[in-house]
Amino acid sequence: MDDIKVSLLVANEISFNNEIKRHSINDVLNLVEVPYIPCAVKTHVLVKILFPKRDFQEEGYMDIVAPDGLMELNTPIMKIMNFRPHPANPGMDASLQINFAVVEEGTYKYRFYVRHQLVAEYPLQVLLKK
């Protein structure tokens, strides 16, 4: 999937200002401590996508894989298309709230797919609070 570029950023909170068409990010996460296991973790994800051309249209989705390799979450399909006016680089930004089950300590991988091909990954370490 060489024709698009995708970046993921996981944070405690991401908001979108509809008037100015911009996202704001609060507390980028690399590590989360949980009080007990199993439990649920709430995160927000910023997905930034750059396209090779303005009329690019596809579908994508995200999943989260637990340290044991089992999938913990699969998001619904989302439409991917250019939302940026000329002369900005064609692409889109989207934010998602993602809640998932923590079943063990370790690295949970947020993975984004286009055409069922992995195009971006973000690791989030989850530890039991001591």
Q: Are 116 and 3 in contact (CB under 8 A)?
A: no
End-to-end CA distance of the chain: 42
Residues lower than pLDDT 50 in the chain: none
The pLDDT of residue 115 is 87
pLDDT in tens, 82-120: 888 888 889 999 999 999 999 999 999 999 999 889 999
pLDDT at 1: 53
Please give the pLDDT value at position 55. Answer: 86
pLDDT at position 2, please? 61
pTM: predicted TM-score of the whole model, two decimal places: 0.91
